[in-house]
């Protein structure tokens, strides 16, 4: 075979390999264990949760977003997206009008009924439900693959892992501190042990006093908090933080109250399953550290 024919043959093989790579289906397993298959990277994406909107932008896919839901306010560009509902109430007619080739859903936030409805409409539905900090890089990787933004997602993952390792190194040897974390005042609502925020508490060397409770977001009673007598009270509410502090000051016998270890944190950072949760984690760890 002449060198020219050999060169043409090599180019042909390269073209075949490239074509097969470009045309290969994308297979991703969501957090319900269901396989999502796309014939090509998604071009029209709808997110049904603020944190998923943020993740799309974090992996460089913001230009593929066509609609989202209320409270999708980060990054700034997300505020201009059309809103088709809230976490538990979706305008399906509007959603279908945008002709999405991928819908991103938050398992517990949107709920089983919405997932079933979207699936019955023949849509590609990716369900996200990370319970540990380690689930965030997995989410970034999977959504990056679905959008054809693997390189961008890997860079974001690298930055996340480096920051996480720094926090782990800083707090891995600290003494344990018991913490009551409040997300709502009336009724009192906290996080159970399987919630992502409980994993952040563990990162900070803290013990959630409701870590043995099964529901992710349990309603609790004052008596339960008094019995546990936490060393620190953290309020991660969106409103009425000072009201929450005043409420607990009614019981000066609580260690957290007696030692003035009542702190607030930014729920917009800590309650969203995105890379920015580590900013909230640093804030949370710093507050807890004051009790040591």
For the stretch 29-40, pLDDT in tens is: 999 999 999 999
- In sequence order, the β-bridge partners of residue 47 are 104
From the CB of residue 123, how many other CB atoms can be counted at a distance below 10 Å?
18
Confidence at residue 217, expressed as pLDDT on a 0 to 100 scale:
95
User: pTM to 2 decimals?
Assistant: 0.88
Mean pLDDT along residues 73-89 = 96
Domain ranges of the chain: 14-160, 174-289
Nearest Cα neighbor of 87 from 73, 74, 106 is: 106
CB 115 within 8 A of CB 107: yes
Burial class of residue 23 (count of CB atoms within 10 Å of its CB; 0-12, 13-18, 19+): exposed
Assess whether pLDDT exceeds 70 at residue 13. Answer: no
| Torsion angles phi and psi, residue 286, rounded to 5 | -65, -40
pLDDT-derived band at 7, boundaries 50, 70, 90:
low
CATH superfamily of 174-289: Nitrogenase molybdenum iron protein domain (3.40.50.1980)
Confidence at residue 4, expressed as pLDDT on a 0 to 100 scale:
55
For the stretch 152-204, pLDDT in tens is: 999 999 999 999 999 999 999 999 999 999 999 999 999 999 999 999 999 99
Confidence at residue 14, expressed as pLDDT on a 0 to 100 scale:
53
Mean pLDDT along residues 124-151 = 97
Confidence at residue 200, expressed as pLDDT on a 0 to 100 scale:
98
DSSP code, position 1? -
CATH superfamily of 14-160: Nitrogenase molybdenum iron protein domain (3.40.50.1980)
Confidence at residue 24, expressed as pLDDT on a 0 to 100 scale:
75
For the stretch 231-278, pLDDT in tens is: 999 999 998 899 999 999 999 999 999 999 999 999 999 999 999 999
Q: Do domains 14-160 and 174-289 have the same CATH topology?
A: yes
Name the H helices within 172-240: 196-203, 222-228
């Amino acid at each position: 075979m002449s060198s020219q024919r050999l060169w043409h043959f090599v180019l042909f093989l390269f073209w075949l390999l490239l074509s097969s790579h470009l045309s290969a289906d994308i297979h991703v397993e969501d957090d319900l264990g269901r396989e999502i298959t796309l014939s090509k990277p998604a071009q029209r994406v709808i997110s049904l949760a603020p944190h998923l909107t943020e993740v799309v932008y974090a992996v460089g896919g913001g230009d593929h977003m066509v609609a989202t839901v209320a409270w999708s306010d980060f990054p700034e560009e997300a505020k201009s997206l059309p809103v088709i509902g809230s976490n538990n109430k979706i305008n399906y007619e509007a959603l279908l009008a945008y002709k999405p080739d991928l819908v991103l859903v938050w398992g517990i936030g949107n709920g089983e009924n919405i997932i079933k409805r979207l699936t019955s409409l023949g849509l590609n539905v990716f369900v996200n439900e990370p319970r540990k900090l380690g689930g965030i890089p997995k989410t970034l990787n999977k959504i990056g693959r679905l959008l054809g933004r693997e390189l961008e997602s890997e860079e974001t993952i690298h930055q996340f892992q480096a920051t996480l390792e720094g926090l782990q190194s800083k707090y891995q040897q600290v003494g344990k501190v018991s913490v009551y974390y409040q997300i709502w005042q009336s009724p009192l609502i906290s996080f159970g042990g399987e919630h992502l925020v409980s994993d952040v508490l563990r990162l900070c060397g803290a013990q959630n006093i409701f870590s043995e409770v099964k529901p992710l977001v349990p309603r609790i009673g004052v008596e339960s908090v008094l019995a546990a007598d936490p060393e620190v009270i953290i309020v991660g509410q969106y409103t009425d933080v000072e009201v929450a502090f005043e409420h607990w000051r009614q019981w000066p016998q609580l260690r957290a109250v007696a030692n003035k270890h009542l702190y607030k944190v930014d729920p917009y950072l800590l309650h969203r399953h995105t890379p920015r949760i580590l900013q909230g984690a640093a804030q949370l760890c710093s507050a807890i550290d004051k009790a040591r």
